[in-house]
Amino acid sequence: MSLRKAYLLIFIILLVDQVSKIYIKTNFVLGEEVNVLSWFKILFIENEGMAWGTTIPGEYGKLILTVFRIFAVFGIAYWLYDASNKRESTYLITAIALIFAGATGNIIDSIFYGVVFDDSSHNLATLFAPEPYGSWFHGKVVDMLYFPIIDGHFPSWFPFWGGNEFKFFNAIFNVADVAISTGVGILIVFNKKAFNK
């Protein structure tokens, strides 16, 4: 895959990611849910940290996370450029482009959303709000895709979790997360083809 095609893939993913996030942020109240299918819901949440809402504690935790992500994206960008120049496999270049696009999409939220949106807790958020909810590098990542495919309870005899509720898949994510996961999946599943082993 040429670098030009990789850029096009990145652009399309970023466009879909940001349009979907802005739409959700300006049309849903935080926590609002729409059932698309019994196993697919649109559920608006905001994530202040990493996967599954994991945060770095302290006053500077979010800033540290955002700056780390920025450095990581520069590293991924270099990896993409280098792989393209070395004419590496299409599998590898596609995977890197997907990971780069996803990481960049979530960084856009972290850097800018705190200064361009107001709070979503009780009202619809306003884009370019006069009183934004945060500051630079302290934005919350918008998540909305929810697939609770299996929703039930563990049998009472089940060790440790007997009788507890069980949901698969309980993570709520966004288009950027899908891109990252797909890119990593390509590297794992097609490892030999990606790295020409």
Question: Closest by alpha carbon to 170, among 190, 195, 146, 145?
Answer: 146
Question: Using CA atoms, how far apart are residues 157 and 152, in angstroms rounded to an integer?
Answer: 15
Catalytic residue among 17, 109, 118, 143: 143
In the residue annotation, 82 being an active-site residue is answered as no
Cβ atoms 7, 101 nearer than 8 A: no
In the residue annotation, 17 being an active-site residue is answered as no
Q: How far apart are the first and last CA of the chain?
A: 18
Question: Using CA atoms, how far apart are residues 83 and 96, in angstroms rounded to an integer?
Answer: 9
Interior CA angle at 140 toward 28 and 169, to 5°? Answer: 70
Question: Using CA atoms, how far apart are residues 173 and 120, in angstroms rounded to an integer?
Answer: 17
Tokens 């590098």, residue?
A: 137
The residue ranges of DSSP E strands in 7-63, in sequence order, are 33-37, 40-47
Strands 141-146, 172-173: pairing is: antiparallel
Cis ω before 169 (30° cut-off from 0): yes
Active site residues: 143, 177
